[in-house]
A = this chain, B = another copy of it.
């Protein structure tokens, strides 16, 4: 847990940060290319650099990247901990797509006999 806000608010931030293809692409670049300064990242996008800076801020506040200052550069690094949290969040849903694959769960799912009032 970080210092900021409730658990739900933090999940909000992480999912919202991921809900943008530019930001997901930044994560991929950091994953495949290692830690990089802003300019190197910005080269991949058809967007002004200040706009990318704002995307980086969103990623920072979600805990998905960290920055390390190096002279006049800021080296951004992928921080995967929130992604591990996402995976944990997914676990209770796993059986739903596993069942679906076997076909049995899908059938049972179509015939619910334990609905709430």
Contact = CB atoms under 8 A, between A and B. Distances in A.
Nearest to A43: B116
B96 A90 contact: no
Copies of this chain per assembly:
2
Contact of A20 (B12, B18, B24, B80): B12
What bracket does the count of chain A residues touching chain B fall in? 35 or more
Q: Is the interface of A mostly helix, strand, loop or mixed?
A: helix
Nearest to A91: B87
A115 B35 contact: yes
Interface of A: 8-9, 11-12, 15-16, 18-21, 24, 27-28, 31, 33-36, 40, 77-78, 80-81, 83-84, 86-87, 90, 92-94, 96-97, 100, 109, 112, 114-117
